[in-house]
């Protein structure tokens, strides 16, 4: 999904997921209206697709996070956000770092547009093949991801 408003206009939400992770988290948790609400619903679908991806390997990350990651078994976006907030509460870098490392453990090869598109295309294959509806009526990801 291409952003058509705000400072991230022209970027895809998929690219923002790994490169401006804190913005995607804000979109999915804040009370936003209009085009941002649509982007927030799409972002929630991206998070759901990301969370469905199985881990292929252990999550390796910055040493300040590694003990908690090893102890708790990092597997989801929300868990990455919780760890980032507990260790580095005012850091945009912390959430982006943990989500990128979790993505690598789930098969993400790099953070360029091509790698991110391939990653979410794989996530579409992990889904049950149908788009679920969120409470605001927007389709979440499933069959909606590019194949």
Residue 6 included in any domain: no
Residue 64 included in any domain: yes
Domain that holds residue 66: 13-126
* pLDDT the model gives residue 15: 93
Q: In this structure, what DSSP letter does residue 43 have?
A: H
Run means of pLDDT, 10 residues per run, the chain, 147 residues: 85 93 94 91 94 92 92 93 90 92 92 89 63 35 32
Number of domains into which the chain is organized: 1
Residue 8 included in any domain: no
Residue 132 included in any domain: no
Residue 133 included in any domain: no
Contact 93, 19 (CB under 8 A): no
Residue 50 included in any domain: yes
Residue 80 included in any domain: yes
The first and second tokens of residue 139, run together, are: 């389709």
Name the CA radius of gyration of the chain, rounded.
15
Q: How far apart are CA 25 and CA 10, in angstroms?
A: 18
* pLDDT the model gives residue 126: 66
Residue 91 included in any domain: yes
pTM of structure: 0.80
């Amino acid at each position: 999904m291409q952003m058509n408003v705000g400072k991230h206009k022209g970027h895809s939400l998929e690219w923002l997921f790994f490169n401006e992770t804190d913005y995607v988290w804000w979109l999915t948790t804040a009370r936003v209206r209009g085009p941002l609400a649509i982007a927030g619903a799409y972002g929630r679908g991206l998070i759901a697709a990301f969370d469905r991806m199985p881990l292929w390997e252990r999550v390796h990350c910055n040493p300040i996070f590694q003990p908690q990651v090893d102890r708790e078994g990092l597997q989801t976006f929300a868990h990455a956000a919780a760890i980032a907030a507990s260790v580095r509460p005012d850091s945009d870098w912390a959430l982006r770092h943990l989500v990128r490392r979790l993505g690598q453990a789930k098969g993400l090869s790099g953070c360029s547009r091509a790698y991110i598109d391939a990653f979410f295309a794989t996530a579409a294959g992990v889904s049950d093949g149908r788009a679920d509806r969120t409470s605001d009526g927007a389709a979440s990801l499933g069959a909606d991801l590019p194949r």
